[in-house]
A and B are shown apart, each in its own frame.
Chain A
Amino acid sequence: MHRPSTAGEPMTTTTATPPDARRAAAKLLDDAVALARELDRDDVATSLARDGARLLDPGARVLVVGDYKQGKSSLVDALVGADVCPVHADVATALPTVVRHGEEPSAVLVGPHGRVDVTPSRLAGAVTGRDDEPGWGHAEVALDAPLLADGITLVDTPGAGGPGGTPATRVLTELPAADAVLLLSDASRELAAGEVELLRAAVAHVPTVLVALTRTDLHPAWREVRDLDTALLAERGLAVEVVGVSAELARHARGRWGTPVGDELAVASGIPALRELLRRRIAEPAGTRTGRAVGEHVAGVLASVRAAPAAELAALEAPARVRELDEALRAATERAAATKDRSARWQQTLADGVADLSSDIEWDLRDRVRQVVRTAEETLETVDPSRVWDQFEPWLAEEVGRAAATTYLWAGERTWWLAERVAAHFAEPAADGAPPGTAPVPAGRFSAELSVLPAVPPPDLDRLRVGQALVVGLRGSYSGVVMVGLVSTLSGLALINPFSVGAGVLLGGRTVREERRRALRRRQLDARRVVRQYAEEVQFVLGKHTKDMLREVQRTLRDHFTGRAEEVTMGAAAAVKAATAARDLDADVRRRRTAAVRARLERIDGLLARCGASS
């Protein structure tokens, strides 16, 4: 369904704004942690706080992509309403910039040698690639802006998807970690082939994809372009919404803030409408998703916490029905045992899964790289490497990068699948009628770091120089002169005579030609050696990298699910203890205790009801 929105349309207000969903989730989490502390379940409180924070934290990542000089940085600035990303008429963004929410404004450069706080001017230098110290991976900027506070993180990327036709590998590898992609395209023209390719890849990996036509202020025909684009995308079956924006108008609007003209310009710029769209399409679903995940998580944990007071209350209210209580206790103990049992099973699933994944990824990468190497070797067989190396080297690096990126994308999908399979063990009907359904999976993001790829080493491409050729030729001609000369001396001629010189020239020429051919062959062999060496190096580096990443994934999943198993066991043990303690109490104490436990249970049930409401 395409519902192209007009830049001129008034701002719409939605009923449930994302901040509400996120705020409600945060409040629920705080209350649950406080309650767990009160109940002396500090372990639960700590794990709740930790996992909950992880679920709450990651804002929706919006990848801002597009060809060079489409105004990506200007648009990011306009969206947050501040000058964050360096904008230049000529120099383009060279470093991805992550713009996220923060109470205090800050700018950080992140590279292989760590994180460094920097001044805005230094940041601008590094982002536009004019910094003296290269090698930064990305920049992070935090600031307090309404859109960011709603849980949206904007990622300004260097240009990609240009006329070349193939989207840059770097953007492709970022896709799995993104919640939305915003492609920027110039409002003066229809989408180009490269942009459509990028959109196709984005739609396959990312839930929300939007196209923003930039510079609508300069192009009166932008609405026609938008309709053409919408039709083009619909024709190709890509569900992508197209909107028009003008960062320049938004800049003017900021300059005349509060005046009627300023408001008019702001609306005409399309930026408020885009902001609203991002909120509605990205922040709000993300907020709801977060709310639901936190709700499920809290509900699961509270269910195990609830076991103890529930058992105690039963014992307090009906001390006579010891038999029933005993049964209940036995059930609790069994549940704990069952959880332990399950624990063995899920650990098995996880370990097997990671082992399978590790070997599959390695095989996949090896296979892809091998195909690249085969093509490369076939090419090198037919050409002179010294002539084509300039074009060959970037091609090789690009192809290998693409192979690695494809493997990473696939590995990311497989990791999620594994996590879901492990989570399924916990989804069996849990204790005390706790809501069934998949246990929340912690976000273990498997994203590629192509910066780790090594560079292609230069092969030895020396061509036969004139001087060398002369020496080689002389060697050949010398033997010719001597050979024929010696024979001809027998017939009374001098060693150097017309015949021997002629033979020398002939043999010399032949030797040079042969030497040339040999040199070409040597260059080809050397280039092939370099290609193979490079492929091995890449596999070595990436192998280590994927193994590390898998180990990290395994650790995250194990910690998460161990925590869940322990909570269930602890809940059962606490229930047994509480019920035993409740058995022999005198009447007065019992009455007071009953009231206290009932109140506690009511609070837990109240929270549980809120979990259900937010899910």
Chain B
Amino acid sequence: MIAERTRAVLDRALAVYAQDPAAAAVLRAHRDRLDGPLRVALAGTLKAGKSTLLNALVGEQIAPTGTAECTRVVTTYRDAPAARITAEHRDGTPDRELPVVHRRGTLVIDLAGTPVERLRGLRVDWPSASLRAVTLVDTPGADSTRPGIAGRARAFLSAGDTAAPAEGADVATVLDAAPDDGADVVLHLVRHLHGADVAFAETVGERAARGIGPAGTVAVLSRADEIGGGRLDALVTAAQVARRYRADPGLRRHCRTVVPVAGLLAETARTLRGSEFAAVRDLAAGAREDVEDVLLSADRFLEAPERLVAGDHRTRRALLDRFGVHGLRLATTLVRRGAADSAGLAAELVRRSGLEELRAVVGTQLVAHGDVFRARAALAALTRVLRAVPAPRAGGEAGAAELAGAVERVLTGAHEFVEQDALVALHTAGLGGRGDAEEARRLLGGDGPDVTARLGVPPDAPAADVRGLALDALARWRRAGEDPRAERACTDVARVVVRSVEGILAER
């Protein structure tokens, strides 16, 4: 519904802006995107593990990772029939294709001497099933010490920011400064969330998610394996930490939810090689005390005697870079407990890395509502175009004014937008019992927009049951919405829920 309405508005806008090529290009890109995969940006501080998580999500090592700052240009990874790397230039120079080079199982992006300042972005076409539903966008660290890089990440993420352009600014520059290929939703990677409100509001609320809004932001507690000194139980601790953050209303204002992920572990598990499994198995074959002793620190592992750890310094270092100290501790323990082959170890590592939970959250909470986020991004882009070019050549000022009215109508009329905002407001509203909040979340589409998912019944439930449940929910939430003793925020959420349930009934 929302997609159709947005498409209609964009079609009209394309007619109005038919003779303004820069604006039309932006609008056409967004119109095409309405049918495409959801654009998910990975944002966060320096070395938060954005590229590593991207590799884990794709299941292949396509984003370069390393010790020094790796991602210096906004890089888009999308599904395509053939592998191709394209460099998009800032100053109007035509796009240039870069060679696709593999080195030791990793994709290498060679800029061939082009300074990063001149690049607007990189586009990597990569045949992958994991990229079918989402297009992933890797961004540079938001707190880079290198001039320009942090600003680039910020400019990219706040593409939806509808600030008015400076007087007399060139239309092309305005549209270029706020690139048309921004993201629809953000996975915001953080190492920790202390000084909760201040730090988080600053990193996420203020800059990153500007324009995308808290509904489209999921906070990812990355590098969960390093919490508490990388001990074996680090991931359990990380899960507790994430649970505490989820319960913190101060944080919930800025994001949908918080998920812990051990990025490195997930990446390695999804790309585990036979030789690596063999190395871990050989390591685990030693006496337990010896193995623990060797894995006390990275340096000790690298310098351990040959009888405990096989291989020379380089192969050991490679193993360490892939697993991390915590990963090796965990992997050897798993092998000792019976992970017999490469696939078994990989499955167990993936399970423990928290990657599955993240994929579930992305699937049910972001991709399932993809229409809403894509529409929002498209309408924000259109608003930006309207401000940059107030008098289009084809439609004239009257056409633009009419268009602005149409945008306003879609934005205010769509219950889908209201639902998404209510999903975030829900946690800060202090809704009665925990069960109530949970039900409201489900009814608002927190587990997916389908009727059955909303009502929490199996997809093949009989229609009569579904109707009965919906009517029951409607009555209860009507009462909640009219409760004179309840807080304003609660009744507001309750009314949105009522509207959603009415939608369910209407659909049946």
**Interfacial residues, chain A to chain B (CB-CB below 8 A):** 8, 68-69, 89-90, 92, 159, 162-165, 186, 188-194, 196, 215-222, 224-225, 228, 232, 246, 248-249, 252, 261, 265, 268, 391, 394
- List the B residue with the shortest CB-CB distance to A187: B298
Contact of A220 among B145, B237, B299 (CB under 8 A): B299
Per the 8 Å Cβ criterion, residues 318-355 of B in contact with A are: 320-321, 324-326
B144, B145, B203, B325, most chain A CB atoms within 10 A: B145
B145 contacts A191, CB within 8 Å?
yes
B296 contacts A265, CB within 8 Å?
yes
A90, A192, A216, A248, most chain B CB atoms within 10 A: A90
User: Would you mind naming 14 contact pairs between A and B with Cβ atoms under 8 Å apart?
Assistant: A69-B192, A69-B194, A92-B194, A162-B199, A163-B199, A164-B203, A190-B69, A193-B145, A217-B296, A218-B229, A218-B326, A220-B317, A246-B297, A265-B296
A90 contacts B297, CB within 8 Å?
no
Tell me which residues across on chain A come within 8 A of B228, comparing CB atoms: 89-90
Tell me which residues across on chain B come within 8 A of A216, comparing CB atoms: 297-299
A78 to chain B, nearest CB (A): 12
Supposing A188-B47, A261-B293 touch, asked if A218 and B198 sit within 8 A by C-beta, the answer is no
B229 contacts A215, CB within 8 Å?
yes
A90 contacts B237, CB within 8 Å?
yes
B297 contacts A68, CB within 8 Å?
no
Tell me which residues across on chain A come within 8 A of B324, comparing CB atoms: 218
B143 contacts A268, CB within 8 Å?
no
B460 to chain A, nearest CB (A): 42
Q: Is B45 an interface residue (CB 8 A)?
A: yes
Given A192-B144, A218-B324, A224-B68, 14 other A-B residues pairs in contact with their CB atoms under 8 A: A68-B199, A69-B191, A90-B244, A191-B145, A192-B145, A193-B150, A215-B226, A217-B230, A217-B297, A217-B298, A219-B298, A220-B299, A268-B297, A391-B206
Q: Is B202 an interface residue (CB 8 A)?
A: yes
- List the A residue with the shortest CB-CB distance to B242: A90
Q: Mark B213-257, 1 if CB is under 8 A from A, else 0.
A: 000000000010011111000000100110010000000000000
B226 contacts A190, CB within 8 Å?
no
- List the A residue with the shortest CB-CB distance to B317: A220
Contact of A162 among B69, B195, B293 (CB under 8 A): B195
Tell me which residues across on chain B come within 8 A of A391, comparing CB atoms: 201, 206
Q: Is B302 an interface residue (CB 8 A)?
A: yes
Q: Is B142 an interface residue (CB 8 A)?
A: yes
Tell me which residues across on chain A come within 8 A of B296, comparing CB atoms: 217, 249, 252, 265
Tell me which residues across on chain B come within 8 A of A252, comparing CB atoms: 296
A68, A194, A249, most chain B CB atoms within 10 A: A68
The complex places the Cα of A92 from the Cα of B199 at a distance, in Å, of 14
Contact of A68 among B194, B197, B321 (CB under 8 A): B194
Supposing A188-B47, A192-B143, A216-B299 touch, asked if A68 and B195 sit within 8 A by C-beta, the answer is yes
Tell me which residues across on chain B come within 8 A of A8, comparing CB atoms: 299
Nearest first, the 9 A-B pairs at minimum CB distance are: A89-B228, A189-B47, A217-B297, A68-B194, A220-B298, A221-B67, A192-B143, A163-B143, A163-B45
- List the A residue with the shortest CB-CB distance to B326: A218
The complex places the Cα of A163 from the Cα of B188 at a distance, in Å, of 13
Tell me which residues across on chain A come within 8 A of B240, comparing CB atoms: 90
The complex places the Cα of A367 from the Cα of B47 at a distance, in Å, of 40
B297, B317, B325, most chain A CB atoms within 10 A: B297
Per the 8 Å Cβ criterion, residues 287-316 of B in contact with A are: 293, 296-302
Tell me which residues across on chain B come within 8 A of A159, comparing CB atoms: 194-195
Per the 8 Å Cβ criterion, residues 153-202 of B in contact with A are: 191-192, 194-195, 197-199, 201-202
Q: Is B26 an interface residue (CB 8 A)?
A: no
What's the tally of chain B residues with a CB closer than 8 Å to chain A?
A: 47
A217 contacts B67, CB within 8 Å?
no
Tell me which residues across on chain A come within 8 A of B241, comparing CB atoms: 89-90
Tell me which residues across on chain A come within 8 A of B321, comparing CB atoms: 220-221
A163 contacts B142, CB within 8 Å?
yes
- List the A residue with the shortest CB-CB distance to B144: A193
The complex places the Cα of A221 from the Cα of B298 at a distance, in Å, of 9
B46 contacts A248, CB within 8 Å?
no
Tell me which residues across on chain A come within 8 A of B302, comparing CB atoms: 220
Tell me which residues across on chain B come within 8 A of A188, comparing CB atoms: 47, 223, 226
Tell me which residues across on chain B come within 8 A of A232, comparing CB atoms: 145
A607 to chain B, nearest CB (A): 52
B246 to chain A, nearest CB (A): 13
A68 contacts B192, CB within 8 Å?
yes
Tell me which residues across on chain A come within 8 A of B68, comparing CB atoms: 190, 224, 228
The complex places the Cα of A430 from the Cα of B188 at a distance, in Å, of 68
Tell me which residues across on chain B come within 8 A of A165, comparing CB atoms: 143
B143 contacts A249, CB within 8 Å?
no
The complex places the Cα of A193 from the Cα of B148 at a distance, in Å, of 12
B411 to chain A, nearest CB (A): 17
B320 contacts A220, CB within 8 Å?
yes
The complex places the Cα of A268 from the Cα of B198 at a distance, in Å, of 37
The complex places the Cα of A162 from the Cα of B240 at a distance, in Å, of 23
Tell me which residues across on chain B come within 8 A of A246, comparing CB atoms: 297
Tell me which residues across on chain A come within 8 A of B229, comparing CB atoms: 89, 215, 218, 248
The complex places the Cα of A191 from the Cα of B299 at a distance, in Å, of 22
The complex places the Cα of A217 from the Cα of B226 at a distance, in Å, of 11
Contact of B298 among A162, A218, A225 (CB under 8 A): A218
The complex places the Cα of A261 from the Cα of B300 at a distance, in Å, of 11
The complex places the Cα of A65 from the Cα of B250 at a distance, in Å, of 25
Tell me which residues across on chain B come within 8 A of A225, comparing CB atoms: 67
Tell me which residues across on chain B come within 8 A of A194, comparing CB atoms: 143
- List the B residue with the shortest CB-CB distance to A394: B198
Tell me which residues across on chain A come within 8 A of B143, comparing CB atoms: 163, 165, 192-194
B226 contacts A218, CB within 8 Å?
yes
B142 contacts A268, CB within 8 Å?
no
The complex places the Cα of A342 from the Cα of B142 at a distance, in Å, of 60
Tell me which residues across on chain B come within 8 A of A265, comparing CB atoms: 296
Tell me which residues across on chain B come within 8 A of A224, comparing CB atoms: 67-68
- List the B residue with the shortest CB-CB distance to A252: B296
A92, A218, A222, A232, most chain B CB atoms within 10 A: A218
- List the A residue with the shortest CB-CB distance to B227: A89
- List the B residue with the shortest CB-CB distance to A196: B145
- List the A residue with the shortest CB-CB distance to B324: A218
Tell me which residues across on chain B come within 8 A of A90, comparing CB atoms: 227-228, 237, 240-241, 244
- List the A residue with the shortest CB-CB distance to B192: A69
Tell me which residues across on chain A come within 8 A of B320, comparing CB atoms: 220
Supposing A89-B228, A89-B237, A163-B45 touch, asked if A249 and B199 sit within 8 A by C-beta, the answer is no
Contact of B46 among A68, A164, A189 (CB under 8 A): A189
A585 to chain B, nearest CB (A): 78
Tell me which residues across on chain A come within 8 A of B226, comparing CB atoms: 188, 215, 218
The complex places the Cα of A394 from the Cα of B67 at a distance, in Å, of 35
Q: Mark B50-86, 1 if CB is under 8 A from A, else 0.
A: 0000000000000000011100000000000000000
Supposing A68-B195, A163-B142, A268-B297 touch, asked if A190 and B230 sit within 8 A by C-beta, the answer is no
The complex places the Cα of A169 from the Cα of B241 at a distance, in Å, of 27
- List the B residue with the shortest CB-CB distance to A269: B297
Tell me which residues across on chain B come within 8 A of A228, comparing CB atoms: 67-68
- List the A residue with the shortest CB-CB distance to B302: A220
- List the A residue with the shortest CB-CB distance to B316: A220
The complex places the Cα of A217 from the Cα of B302 at a distance, in Å, of 11
Tell me which residues across on chain B come within 8 A of A268, comparing CB atoms: 297, 299-300
Tell me which residues across on chain B come within 8 A of A191, comparing CB atoms: 145
The complex places the Cα of A159 from the Cα of B46 at a distance, in Å, of 17
A217 contacts B325, CB within 8 Å?
yes
Contact of B203 among A92, A163, A190, A217 (CB under 8 A): A163
Tell me which residues across on chain A come within 8 A of B230, comparing CB atoms: 215, 217-218, 248
The complex places the Cα of A8 from the Cα of B300 at a distance, in Å, of 11
- List the B residue with the shortest CB-CB distance to A194: B143
The complex places the Cα of A163 from the Cα of B202 at a distance, in Å, of 9
The complex places the Cα of A225 from the Cα of B142 at a distance, in Å, of 19
Tell me which residues across on chain B come within 8 A of A189, comparing CB atoms: 46-47
A450 to chain B, nearest CB (A): 15
The complex places the Cα of A394 from the Cα of B299 at a distance, in Å, of 44
